[in-house]
A and B are shown apart, each in its own frame.
Chain A
């Protein structure tokens, strides 16, 4: 695992990808920080939260080549023909992308230090936002990793993970559409004489969709209100996608087709 982690992490800095992602993140966070300074009010926690909304662009850039490049260049043969465990390969690659996020976060730490020097405070809200940052990043990276395992083209992989992440971040809007759509469909067909029932069915569908939104669940963290469930949610879904990726690679050894 450490071998794959080391190789993959260093390869971010052997190609422009790592630098581009770091530069993009530094620009976004710096821009926000300057913007807040010019308004005379600094909130590190809201800076972190709004940075998380750029994950849908940064994560696909970072994860697109993780496994698809190995497939295209034929280097995946190394993982299949040496006694290395495939799960270690997948987890090593996941950790490499996660470590890059940790490095990006150094920007925010610098901003925190500046705030502290200006007699500001780092409160529970900042800790909460930081937790959200890393847990949501883990979830998104695992999705990107999975997208990278199903194709041998970096572009296709980036597009797939971008679309999945876009859908996740738009879940609130999508759930509103689903609510009115389901309610009016049921009202016109199965529940013609019971509009209240149709309405409640629509609400349930919307609630079910919203349940999958990690950003919705972690909204209160930035105010210093923590709960364990959203973190467990992110972590378990991240593990599910890492496991799916592992199965996708392992399939090649077993599949009879």
Chain B
């Protein structure tokens, strides 16, 4: 669907993108992560055809963005970092203008615009000037603009910036709904958002691809074995000694000890040794009469993965 090969982009002396390559399959939702200045927006601008690349190629649906720009651009709806809005037009006038630019046939316009307006929930502000709308509404008009023309591919550069938590949830729902029929690339700073919406993640750092994988594989790759957190009441030394005897537990360390005798320990488990040890830990604690207050997995979140990859 989208194929990016060895993309380079320099601004004068600054080499912003240094050889990014990846593929996006049809129907996939790809998260695009990276610290500020990593080259996220530049890469998205190049994929959408706004900026030229210094070298490399972008192929969209089989059309090269430089050789067949019109064909390639027909497949893309793009929401840039700053939504391209004319503040002196009303929402409806603006979307009609975008319909003209995207060459949407006149007879389909009304139906399509009504559908988009209700989808991003801006029907009630359709006749207001864009300049008078709040930031959240402007962002939604920007999303609406990307949806005009029913493109197969959506490229959204930080789509939930400036929205309140309710609106973020709505946009997230909208994107999940769109993901059923479209291919989507989303960049965001909010990692939980990427985790909630995306199938795969590309992490870029200093203009290069630092990691590209599914989220679960990324976490597993970071830690060979799994960590568990256990919080209990009881004599800490006895507990540790008793737990050490369980096969599969490779090491235990103490994290916090509370004055009222509540302890928190971290257990590193080697799953390859023999199945799931969690049940055994539970029975062991129960047999000895040590009440478990909390017991959960400590697998790294995307946040930790992101930090460890980008700071390396």
> Of the candidates B50, B88, B100, which one forms a contact with A14 in the assembled complex, judged by CB atoms under 8 Å apart?
B88
Q: Secondary structure of the B side of the interface?
A: loop
Distance of A154 from chain B, by nearest CB (Å) = 14
Give the size category of B's interface with A: 35 or more
Q: Are A257 and B74 in contact (CB under 8 A)?
A: no
| Nearest A residue (CB) for B102 | A82
Say yes or no: A79-B54 contact (C-beta < 8 A), given A7-B89, A14-B88, A253-B49: no
A189 on the B face (CB < 8 A)? no
Residues of B with C-beta under 8 A to A82: 73, 98, 101-102, 149
Residues of B with C-beta under 8 A to A85: 70
A38 on the B face (CB < 8 A)? no
Q: Quick one: which of A3, A75, A82, A254 has the most chain B CB within 10 A?
A: A82
Q: How many A-B pairs with Cβ below 8 Å?
A: 80
Distance of A167 from chain B, by nearest CB (Å) = 32
> Of the candidates A77, A84, A254, which one forms a contact with B50 in the assembled complex, judged by CB atoms under 8 Å apart?
A77
| Nearest B residue (CB) for A2 | B100
B251 on the A face (CB < 8 A)? no
Residues of B with C-beta under 8 A to A76: 84
| Nearest B residue (CB) for A74 | B82
Q: Quick one: which of A15, A75, A77 has the most chain B CB within 10 A?
A: A77
Say yes or no: A74-B52 contact (C-beta < 8 A), given A82-B73, A83-B73, A253-B69: no
Chain B 81-92 against A: per-residue CB contact (8 Å), 1 yes, 0 no? Answer: 011111111000
B222 on the A face (CB < 8 A)? no
Q: Are B55 and A74 in contact (CB under 8 A)?
A: no
Q: What 17 new A-B contacts, CB under 8 Å, besides A73-B86, A81-B49, A84-B101?
A: A3-B100, A6-B97, A7-B86, A7-B89, A11-B86, A14-B89, A73-B84, A74-B82, A74-B83, A74-B84, A77-B78, A81-B76, A83-B102, A84-B102, A257-B10, A257-B11, A257-B54
Residues of A in contact with B (beta carbons under 8 Å apart): 2-3, 6-7, 11, 14-15, 73-85, 252-257
